[in-house]
Amino acid sequence: MLILLITGGGFNNADYFKNLSRFFSCKHIEMSKVSSSDISEAELSVVDLKGSSPTSLKHLRAVTSADKGAKIVCPLTKGDRWEMVQSGTLGQVKHFDRAKGFKALVLTIREFIGKPDCDLERLQNSSKEVQQAFHKSTALLDDLPFAATEDGAISVALMKQSASALTGVMQEEGISAWLGAVECHHSHTFRHSLYVAGLVTSFAQHLGWSSEHQTMIAAGGLLHDIGKTKIPLAILDKPGALTDEEFDTIKKHRLFGEEILQRANNIPNEIKRMAVCHHEYIDGSGYPYGLSGDQLGPTVRVMTICDIFAAMTEERSYKSPMSPRVAFANLIDMGGKLDQSLVKKFKDIVMDLHSSQPNRSAAVKRSPLKQAKAS
C-alpha cells in the first residue's frame, strides 16, 4: 500500500510528513514533478499546499483531473481560505486540520483508505478467544509507532491487556491455533512480532514459568522489535532482498528500541532488556554490545531462540520458509551462541508446529540466512 506525499514548499517544510513513513510505505515527490501515473499507482496522496507556487498548483490540478477516483488528503490551517479553495480544485479531497496533530493525521489516512490490515474472512476460522487476542495485540502494534515520536508513549494498559489475552490463548489453544490467526495479517513486520510473542509465551508455559513471568515475556515478545517503528515500512516490508545499506539500517533497530524505551519509565526493565538484547549471543559474538554468559538472563535467552526460529520458519517473497525440523537443526548447529539446554527443551514446541503444519515448505540448507538474522 503506497502513500504519495506531495509538497510544493519542500519536504522539510512539512514536519508531520517525516514520521508518516513509519506507518505507511511512502514516496515523497515535489508537486511540480508528480505525474498521473504516480497518482494512480498510490492508494492515497497527502498534499501539503503550503509554499506551493501557482505553476506547481496548475500542474497538480492537471494531473489529478486525469484520475477522478484518486483519494487525496489535504492538511489545512484552520481559517486559511486560500488553502481551502485550492484544495477544492483537486478532486476527491478529505480536509485535515493541522492543529489536530500527527496522530490524528495517521488515523484520518487509515480511515480514508478503509482497507483492513488483515484477512478478516480467514480470521473467522479462529476461535473467538484467539480473534480477541489477535485484535488486542494488533491494536498494540498499531499504536507502537506513535511511541517513537518525540511526545509519544507506550500504552501500558493496552500492553497488559494484549499480553494477558495472549497468555490465555496459548494456555487453552496452543501455538498452532495462534499461528493460524497470525498468518491472516498482511504485514510481515506485524506477523513476525505476533509469531515471536506466541512462541515465547508457549515456551515459557512449557518451562513451567509463573503466570506473571508468562505475561511478562508475552509483552516482551510483542515489543521486542519496537525499534523497527523508526524504520520506514518501505524497507521493513520490502518485497525483495534488502540492499546492504537497508540491512544495516534494520540492524540498528535494537539501538532504536533502546532509545525509545529509555524514556518509557512505566515499562519493566525486563521487557526493555528483551528488546535491546535479543540479538546478543551467549558466546559474546552478538550485537549491539557483545554481551555474554550471565549478562544474558533467561527471558533474553528464550527470546533469542524464538526470534531466530521465527525468522527461519517465516515465508518471505525472497525465500521459502524452513520447516520447523530444519530450523531446529540450525538452532542446534549454532552451538555456544545459544543456551543449548533451552534449545533442547524448545524441541517440544517445534514438534507441535511440525505436526500441525505439514504443508509448510521446507528449505534444505541449514545455514541461517542473512535476512533471517536481521529479523
> At 158, which helix (H) or strand (E)?
helix 156-172
Q: What is the pLDDT of residue 92?
A: 80
> How many Å apart are CA 163 and CA 168, to the nearest integer?
9
Amino acid at 262: Q
Q: What is the pLDDT of residue 10?
A: 62
The class that CATH gives domain 2-113 is alpha beta
Dmax (CA) for the chain in angstroms is 69
Cα 164 to chain centroid distance, Å, stands at 20
Q: Minimal CA–CA distance to 182: which of 353, 300, 367, 366?
A: 353
358 in helix, strand or coil?
coil
Burial readout 231-244 (b: 16 or more C-beta within 10 A, e: otherwise): bbbebbbbeeebee
The CATH code belonging to domain 120-374 is 1.10.3210.10
* pLDDT tens digits, 83-106: 999 998 898 899 999 899 888 999
Q: Which residues of the chain fall short of a pLDDT of 50? A: 13, 358-374
> How many Å apart are CA 296 and CA 225, to the nearest integer?
18
Q: What is the pLDDT of residue 361?
A: 35
Q: Structural domain boundaries of the chain?
A: 2-113, 120-374
Contact 5, 27 (CB under 8 A): yes
Tell me the backbone φ, ψ of residue 64, rounded to 5 degrees.
-70, -25
